[in-house]
Structure 1
Amino acid sequence: MKTESVFTARIGNEELTVATGLLAEQAGGAVTLRAGDSVLLATATMSKFVREGLDFFPLSVDFEEKMYAAGRIPGSFFRREGRPTTEAVLISRLTDRPLRPLFPDGMRNEVQVITTTLSSDNVHYLDIMSINAASAALHISDIPWEGPIGGVRVGYVNGELIANPTIQEMAGSTLDLRMAASRDAIIMVEAGANEVTESLLLEALAFGHQAVQPFIQMQEEMRAAVGREKSPVVIHVVDADLQEAVKSKVGGRVADIMVQTDRHERNDEMGDLRDEIVNDFMEADPEVNPVQVREVITDIQKKVVRNRILYEGVRPDGRDLTTIRPLFSKVGLSPRAHGSGLFQRGETQVLSIAALGTPRDAQKLDGLTPEETRRYMHHYNFPPFSTGETWPLRGPKRREIGHGALAEAALRPMIPPEDEFPYTIRVVSEVLSSNGSTSQASVCASSLALMDCGVPIKRPVAGVAMGLISDGEKYAILTDIQGMEDHLGDMDFKVAGTSEGITALQMDIKISGLTMDIMTQALEQARVGRLQILEHMLQTIPAPREQLSPHAPRMLTVKIDPDKIGAVIGKGGANIRGLEEDFAVSIDIQEDGTIFVAGVDGELAEQAVKRITAMTHEPELGEIVSGKVVRITDFGAFVEFLPGTDGMVHISQLSSEHLRRVEDAVQMGDEVMVMIIDRSPEGKYRLSRKAVLEGWSLDQARAEDRPKPSGDRRGGDRGGDRRGGDRGGDRRSGGDRGGPRRR
């Protein structure tokens, strides 16, 4: 009989239940994590064999988003899950980042971590659950790993920090901080915020670190109770004799090369040195592994660069620790795009291009997230030519999706709300040249593009990437890291924000964690750097353009009674199609009666709005309207004064003169001015042209329209009923004899 071990812990007000022993028994470690009615299955499995020839740790982390978890069937043609959604990719990356630094250096066994949604209640976030479930599965598994960790989301609602708020609670939060930490240090941070201060962010980090401690302790208890013995693995280590031989052969040549501040010359010289040393060793001993020789040379280079930074304060390109690379920016590069901005920092160059669309262009999301549509989208592309390389173009990779999402989070708080700027906005960042910090250059370029486009963003956003070099006792924080510093350093700490505060933050590290002192200094240096970059950007374009591009659609908004939506759409969509064809516009109707009309020709869009207003207008008694004669009878004319709405003008109300025939006053298709004088309970309108000609008030018009006792042609109050004809009265009341029939 299967036995299941269950453990519980709280993070904030949320109770987490972790169970193991029932599911996925062949995995190296398997747990289910439950919060409310949301349940994830996490498995961790390691290959028994080392993958030869690799110079990296082969870890894969996947979040499997299953629609059945919410009781739904996928909307695809095959009705099954296909390629991961953007949200699933982002959760996979978020789960991977705090796990990866805690595996042993030199490990080459393939490890796969999979978190699968079994149930989703649309109350609890699945991303933080994925981190915690993966940590628990790894910690009780046979896989060597230096965990456990705990993940938490921190919100800031009504002046109070909240640990693991629900989806509903987060709707009112100005901070969305997701972090993971060990018992002693912070390992991963990702945040979106509405211009929060550095001090509040630090307070939230300390709050979150404390909040995860009960869950970390629970995992230790779980490991002691049901954990498997860790498997021995072969750690990749270069032979000690080979290391000494290579170091002796290289001597001080690497240090001499690294003094060169020109990156291309430095790389060429290092490449020549590697080839020379490898060839020498291969000639002396063909059995030598050239990969290991290159690895030793890279390690020497790493130590030289790090020591120069730590003990001399000099970086590879000659900068000190806080200097930002030369800046250049420009707007308006694409004449037909709605907005474009170029931002360059050193050798990193990004072109962002903005396009505006209608509400129907918003992205429809088919996943387990509560968000159904997205009206602001940011996409990031990293082509091979940006690094002078070649590789196949096969769609965006995980990294590109993640960088686009980070830039999107940084700019989203500055995007005007839909009721103020009802456009769908897409920004694409094309990395044209890369030497570090392209995601933050994308933030800067996109701010420029949005302002060039005329999007009334609250303030421009700039981003800067911070780095860290540490040796255990001494550390140095670097402002605006370049590619080599990212590759050889210990941290990539991206901070984006405005002059008023932080809007996005992402931290990845290669060491076991960061102290609060390092976080504090990094945020302060980032603030100074961000303000410097913003000052430069505002010199290029000081404010959003007052007018949109002439090629952008003009968006007009009209609000109608929701009960009138059907009148605008028409039978089978005939009315709305007619409007779009007649005025060259696109029309989007919201359930609350808000209608967006978009067209490149602003005048035609305004005419479409007037037509919609007329179609949905509720006529008032006494109102004078223009209409077209659409039908003529022997007792009057029918005038259409609103699309699909007409009323009857009795022959007696067509002219100030006595008429024998309706055609003596009006013809089919004539445009006439009439007054609305009555409306029946059934919605039939009675009109008067004579009231307009005579200048009567409503009361006068209605009085003149009453029955006359002597065979008046106006036909009384029966609305021009055919039975009254033009004989002045109801046939049953004696026709033109002028009085009621006596009984």
Structure 2
Amino acid sequence: DTVEKVNQLARDKVRTAVSGTTDRDERKARLAGIRDETMAALAEAISAGEVDAGDVDDALDSLHKEAVRRHILDESVRPDGRDPHTVRPIQVQVGNIPRVHGSGLFMRGETHVLTIATLGTPGDAQRLYTLQPEEEKRYIHHYNFPPYSTGEAYPMRGPKRREIGHGALAERALQPVIPDEFPYTLRLVSEAVSSNGSTSMGSVCGSTLALMDAGVPIDAPVSGIAMGLVQDQDSGDYVVLSDIQGVEDHLGDMDFKVAGSGHGITALQMDLKIKGLDFEILRIALEQARQGRLHILEKMLAVLPEAREELSPFAPRILTVSVDPEKIGKIIGPGGKTVRALQERYEVKIDIDDDGSVFISGLNGLAAEEARREIESLTEEVEIGKIYTGQVVRVEAYGAFVNLLPGVDGLVHISQLADYRVNNVEEIANVGDELTTMVIDIDPAGKIRLSRQAVLEGWSAEEARDRDRGGRRGGGGRERERGGRGGNRERDRSMRNGGRPRR
């Protein structure tokens, strides 16, 4: 009885309200007015208990749903006046927030999403403690749906299930295009500043814009679109809708989110309100989604065709060095002393992976470069035939010890100090002097033989070894034979340290 009374009072009015305007707020106002009129007409029955006010509201909602669905099925006209294939007007802006590393504002109809990108160091990655093989996550997307986006006001506490799900979907959509070799940790935050449906796909588009604005070299830009369905369960007639808005999501039969690049789909999510879906409907929905995604991409790329070549001046600069994993300890030092000293000296952050990848990050690119050079020198291998310039750290009668790399010294025998006969080592080298020498040999014990004469004469390492009189006699053995026993022991101790890393 209640349904019949409401139908007689309001059916034609609701149909007129739905078809008579394309403005959401005006339609809401008209429907609210119809409700008030219906409640006033049934006031006596409600007061007498003959009619329940809740049943009246339910009947009005059913009329609204029927009017919207019939208008779409019969006329192919949607509540905002669009046909089933048309995407709402799109506007795109980037770089609106200059202090952040990257930002993108994506506006599709009344749905506006602002995404901000932040570039962090590898050490900022999220640690994962799960049963999955992945131990960390370096691309993170958070989605916020504040109450003001729909004109509401309620307390904002922790993220809700819907926000977590939408954030995960948008994160999955961009994950395939994030370059593996890009060393930064990426955190994106999408804020729905205005909502009329499909904010999750708006956050996909906003994320793409923010990443490109930040200078992240993504493999391909990604866009997203939400597809809908209105199907008459009795006749089987149906209409597939592109880019659904809030009322179509609420009153329709399907919310099918499709995200992808020009090369293909990267993420899908479907919510159905009917028992099943015909394969032909799915095929049509995917094809309409492809056309819609490409249209949206075209609008986005018209504003920012590709990722910016330079990172934001406020983003950290990261340099990458690959070292022998066995030498990681040299960078870290006892108790982390060495790596802490490097970070303090150059004002950088250093992250070291077990595979030997070293990431140096800092706002000052020159300081990061200096830190990189020092790390390379800490782990560099001395090469035979290579020329080094180093400081003389010790002088003996048989030659001079020169520091080649941090903690690594080599011996220049007196016979290799010059291109003429040298009677006294100190004629050429004193402690603190810089000498340019060539590494001509490294014995099995790790002792390094150097030659200054090879540099002056332009010899190869082989030629220098042939002329190294000290080397033919065992690397300083001649000098040990000249002295007494006490002198021999002292020189033996000196030679044991020569060429090995100093501790």
Q: 1:246 and 2:246 equivalent?
A: no
CA distance in 2 between counterparts of 1:706 and 1:553 reads 53
- Output one character per residue of 1:434-470: Cα deviation in whole Å (capped at 9) or x when no partner: 0000111111111111111222222211111111111
Shift of 1:730: 4.9
One of 428, 439, 447 as aligned partner of 1:684: 447
CA distance in 2 between counterparts of 1:369 and 1:730 reads 68
Aligned 8 A contact 1:349 1:432 in 2 = yes
CA distance in 1 between counterparts of 2:248 and 2:158 reads 28
Residue 401 of structure 2 is matched in structure 1 by 638
CA distance in 2 between counterparts of 1:543 and 1:660 reads 66
Aligned 8 A contact 2:331 2:378 in 1 = yes
Q: 1:698 and 2:461 equivalent?
A: yes
- Identical pairs, percent: 56
Residue 493 of structure 2 is matched in structure 1 by none
Residue 631 and residue 274 in structure 1: after superposition, are their counterparts in 2 closer, same or farther (change >3 A)?
A: farther
Shift of 1:317: 0.8
CA distance in 1 between counterparts of 2:432 and 2:151 reads 70
Aligned 8 A contact 2:400 2:425 in 1 = no
Secondary structure of 2:354's partner? Answer: coil
Residue 499 of structure 2 is matched in structure 1 by none
Q: 1:255 and 2:15 equivalent?
A: yes
- The 5-angstrom pairing of residues 188-199 of structure 1 reads none
Residue 627 and residue 280 in structure 1: after superposition, are their counterparts in 2 closer, same or farther (change >3 A)?
A: farther
Aligned 8 A contact 1:553 1:598 in 2 = yes
Q: 1:517 and 2:277 equivalent?
A: no
Residue 456 of structure 1 is matched in structure 2 by 217
Residue 444 of structure 1 is matched in structure 2 by 205
One of 145, 163, 172 as aligned partner of 1:400: 163
- The 5-angstrom pairing of residues 172-251 of structure 1 reads 241-251=1-11
Q: 1:471 and 2:232 equivalent?
A: yes
Shift of 1:659: 5.3
- Output one character per residue of 1:696-737: Cα deviation in whole Å (capped at 9) or x when no partner: 443444344425xxxxxxx9845457x937xx83547x99xx
Structure 1 or 2: more helix by fraction: 2
Secondary structure of 1:393's partner? Answer: coil
Residue 496 of structure 2 is matched in structure 1 by none
Shift of 1:345: 0.4
Shift of 1:635: 5.5
Residue 28 of structure 1 is matched in structure 2 by none
Residue 500 of structure 2 is matched in structure 1 by none
CA distance in 1 between counterparts of 2:53 and 2:456 reads 102
Aligned 8 A contact 2:138 2:185 in 1 = yes
One of 59, 63, 67 as aligned partner of 1:300: 63
CA distance in 2 between counterparts of 1:667 and 1:429 reads 65
CA distance in 2 between counterparts of 1:526 and 1:314 reads 19
- The 5-angstrom pairing of residues 338-353 of structure 1 reads 338-353=101-116
CA distance in 2 between counterparts of 1:659 and 1:517 reads 96
- The 5-angstrom pairing of residues 192-591 of structure 1 reads 241-258=1-18, 259-278=20-39, 281-282=42-43, 284-286=45-47, 287=49, 289-418=52-181, 421-472=182-233, 473=235, 474-591=237-354
CA distance in 2 between counterparts of 1:587 and 1:631 reads 33
CA distance in 2 between counterparts of 1:307 and 1:716 reads 101
Structure 1: runs of 5 or more not aligned = 1-240, 708-714, 736-743
Secondary structure of 1:674's partner? Answer: strand
Aligned 8 A contact 2:362 2:368 in 1 = yes
Shift of 1:523: 1.0
CA distance in 2 between counterparts of 1:668 and 1:582 reads 26
Residue 333 and residue 699 in structure 1: after superposition, are their counterparts in 2 closer, same or farther (change >3 A)?
A: same
Secondary structure of 1:252's partner? Answer: helix
Residue 296 and residue 659 in structure 1: after superposition, are their counterparts in 2 closer, same or farther (change >3 A)?
A: farther
Aligned 8 A contact 2:46 2:52 in 1 = no
Structure 2: runs of 5 or more not aligned = 489-503
Aligned 8 A contact 1:332 1:341 in 2 = yes
Aligned 8 A contact 2:146 2:192 in 1 = yes
| Structure 2 residue identity aligned to 1:417 | D
Residue 290 and residue 369 in structure 1: after superposition, are their counterparts in 2 closer, same or farther (change >3 A)?
A: farther
CA distance in 2 between counterparts of 1:381 and 1:405 reads 12
Shift of 1:597: 2.5
Range with greater deviation from structure 2 (540-549 or 268-277): 268-277
| Structure 2 residue identity aligned to 1:539 | A
| Structure 2 residue identity aligned to 1:626 | T
CA distance in 2 between counterparts of 1:373 and 1:704 reads 56
- Output one character per residue of 1:316-366: Cα deviation in whole Å (capped at 9) or x when no partner: 111111111111001111212221111100000011111222222222111
Highest RCO, 1 vs 2 (Cα 8 Å, sep ≥ 6): 2
Shift of 1:641: 1.2
CA distance in 2 between counterparts of 1:574 and 1:719 reads 35
CA distance in 1 between counterparts of 2:33 and 2:403 reads 86
TM-score, structure 2 as length reference: 0.88
Residue 624 of structure 1 is matched in structure 2 by 387
TM-score, structure 1 as length reference: 0.61
Shift of 1:564: 1.9
Aligned 8 A contact 1:724 1:731 in 2 = no
CA distance in 2 between counterparts of 1:548 and 1:417 reads 17
Secondary structure of 1:285's partner? Answer: helix
Shift of 1:636: 4.6
One of 369, 385, 389 as aligned partner of 1:606: 369
| Structure 1 residue identity aligned to 2:17 | I
CA distance in 2 between counterparts of 1:391 and 1:635 reads 85
| Structure 2 residue identity aligned to 1:403 | H
Residue 137 of structure 1 is matched in structure 2 by none
Aligned 8 A contact 1:490 1:510 in 2 = yes
CA distance in 2 between counterparts of 1:527 and 1:666 reads 75
Range with greater deviation from structure 2 (368-377 or 455-464): 368-377
Aligned 8 A contact 1:716 1:729 in 2 = no
Q: 1:724 and 2:479 equivalent?
A: yes
Aligned 8 A contact 1:652 1:659 in 2 = no
Range with greater deviation from structure 2 (587-596 or 513-522): 587-596
CA distance in 2 between counterparts of 1:246 and 1:643 reads 89
CA distance in 2 between counterparts of 1:451 and 1:639 reads 50
Shift of 1:621: 2.1
Aligned 8 A contact 1:493 1:507 in 2 = yes
Aligned 8 A contact 2:178 2:218 in 1 = yes
CA distance in 1 between counterparts of 2:398 and 2:156 reads 75
